[in-house]
Amino acid sequence: MTVSLKKILTLSAIGLSLSAFAQAKTELTMYYPVSVGGALTKVVDSMVADFEKQNPDVDVNAIYAGNYNDARVKALAALNSGKPAQLSVMFSIDVHELMDLDAIVPFDEVVSTEADRTWLKSFYPALMENGVVKGKTYGIPFQRSTIVMYYNKDLFRAAGLDPQKAPSSWDELVTMGKKLTKTDSNGHTDQWGVMIPSTGYPYWMFGAMTKQKGMKLMNQEGNKTYFDDKNAIAALNFWKDLGQTHQIMPKGMIEWGTLRQNFLEQKTAMMWHSTGNLTAVKNNAKFDFGVAMLPAEKEFGSPTGGGNFYLFKNSTAEEKQAALKLVKFMTSPKQAAKWSIETGYMGVSQASYKTPELADYVQTFPPAAVARDQLKFATAELSTHQSGRVRKLLDDAIQAVLNDQKTAEGALTKAQKQADRILSRYR
């Protein structure tokens, strides 16, 4: 064989090897919701690009899917079409529904090392309440939040209130709210004391009020709800009274999607909203603002919220390992710190707050610590089997009461009976 022929064969073999290597890349499809303010897609794209640099054998295709419900619908549609995603960020409260569909696998079955098992236990316990079922971890927290109170310190000063002291109880919320509500000579209210959104995720806001009354809306197994509890009825009456009786909040519906803008335009002195809006408010507020934990009744409290990572069952062992590698990267202390700083969502582990970046950020911008500090009073978000149907029952009941179409007792009693019919088969 001639030297030239040997070179040709050698180069061909190298080419084939390189081609085989290129073809050996593991491709991942990840559905991702972008329902909350801020340029989340840019942040996620940046993190994915950093991951791919460190892991050149993995390609990640992030598909941005609208809100959480859109992400779930699209991910499950892909699953049914035979072209499934390998992982997705979806509602933390979707866990029971995804399990019922046999769509996901617990991370416990994918991790293999002691370090991996330690990682599974590294997250804030309150954030894991919606991800652990019967001792197995199905959801890993990432885009997580609690509800916090944003308040306009300039308007507090103008009303003769201490700008460093947000209301810490329901009574103070009403008292301060009355001082902060301004009506013009024609009887038109051009500045409200507080706004609490009642579209989008009304059950979430309601879960905060019921926790403040000392109760949870469901059991851990997700097969029983307590909508007609006397404390739930009292909580919904209080919410309605803020508009109807105390007149410190608009009557009827308050839109989730436009509330942040109402706050930025100083149409309301206080708002309850996701901590996921923190960076957007920080970047756009033309006034001095503060962030505080939600006010207490019997106790402080907020449900956690937001999205978890899930691993889909219909994927290869190689894809599951690559997906696990991506989830570990995205939730690592350094990346979780970056995510928190750039979005306002909380760091998901104590280690993330010990990174120099997030530790410095919290020191210079204390509102970034409020959602984390509120975790000690947090509870799981409403999550049940057939979660979408059950949530809608509660949402409809809440909205009927706020629109003055039903009494709180009547609406919640009916919703509980309907939820019982749905959930009884799972007991």
- Give the dihedral sign, CA 58/63/67/73: negative
| Same domain flag for 37 and 50 | yes
Give the pLDDT confidence score for residue 79 in this predicted structure: 82
Q: Is the pLDDT assigned to residue 248 strictly greater than 90?
A: yes
Confidence class of residue 113 from pLDDT cuts 50, 70 and 90?
Answer: very high
What confidence tens digit (pLDDT) does each residue in 184-205 have? 888 899 999 999 999 999 999 9
pTM: 0.88
7 versus 223: which is more confidently predicted? Answer: 223
Q: What is the 3-state secondary structure (H, E, C) of the chain?
A: CCHHHHHHHHHHHHHHHHHHHHHCCEEEEEEECCCCCCCHHHHHHHHHHHHHHHCCCEEEEEEECCCHHHHHHHHHHHHHHCCCCCEEEEEHHHHHHHHHCCCEECHHHCCCCHHHHHHHCCECHHHHCCCEECCEECCEEEEEEEEEEEEEHHHHHHCCCCCCCCCCEHHHHHHHHHHHCEECCCCCEEEEEEECCCCCCHHHHHHHHHHHCCCCCECCCCCCECCCCHHHHHHHHHHHHHHHCCCCCCCCCCCHHHHHHHHHCCCEEEEEEEHHHHHHHHHHCCCCEEEECCCECCCCCEEEEEEEEEEECCCCHHHHHHHHHHHHHHCCHHHHHHHHHHHCCCCCEHHHHCCHHHHHHHHHCHHHHHHHHHHHHEECCCCCCCHHHHHHHHHHHHHHHHCCCCCHHHHHHHHHHHHHHHHHHHC
Question: Which residue in this structure is represented by tokens 């700083």?
Answer: 341
Residue 402 is assigned to a structural domain of this protein: yes
Q: Measured between alpha carbons, how far is residue 332 from residues 55, 242, 351, 354 in Å?
A: 15, 42, 9, 12
Residue 246 is assigned to a structural domain of this protein: yes
| Same domain flag for 274 and 309 | no
What confidence tens digit (pLDDT) does each residue in 52-66 have? 999 999 999 998 887
| Same domain flag for 174 and 244 | yes
| Same domain flag for 217 and 337 | no
70 versus 282: which is more confidently predicted? Answer: 282
Chain mean pLDDT for the chain:
92
Give the pLDDT confidence score for residue 72 in this predicted structure: 84
What confidence tens digit (pLDDT) does each residue in 362-376 have? 999 999 999 999 999
Question: Which residue in this structure is represented by tokens 């120099």?
Answer: 356
| Same domain flag for 166 and 288 | yes
Q: Is the pLDDT assigned to residue 35 strictly greater than 70?
A: no
Question: How many separate domains does the chain show?
Answer: 2
| Same domain flag for 173 and 280 | yes
Give the pLDDT confidence score for residue 19 in this predicted structure: 45
Task: Give the C-alpha separation, 356 to 217, whole Å.
Answer: 38
Q: Which CATH number belongs to the domain containing residue 207 in this structure?
A: 3.40.190.10
Q: Is the pLDDT assigned to residue 38 strictly greater than 90?
A: no
Residue 236 is assigned to a structural domain of this protein: yes
283 versus 41: which is more confidently predicted? Answer: 283
Q: Which of 75-89, 112-126, 140-154 has the lowest mean pLDDT?
A: 75-89
What confidence tens digit (pLDDT) does each residue in 393-403 have? 999 999 999 99
Residue 79 phi/psi, 5° resolution? Answer: -60, -45
Q: Is the pLDDT assigned to residue 40 strictly greater than 70?
A: yes
Confidence class of residue 4 from pLDDT cuts 50, 70 and 90?
Answer: low
| Same domain flag for 206 and 353 | no
Q: Is the pLDDT assigned to residue 76 strictly greater than 90?
A: no
What confidence tens digit (pLDDT) does each residue in 290-340 have? 999 999 999 999 999 999 999 999 999 999 999 999 999 999 999 999 999
Q: Is the pLDDT assigned to residue 11 strictly greater than 70?
A: no
Average pLDDT over residues 111-133: 95
| Same domain flag for 19 and 122 | yes
User: What is the domain range of residue 11?
Assistant: 3-144+305-363
- The last residue of one of the domains, among 363, 397, 412, is 363
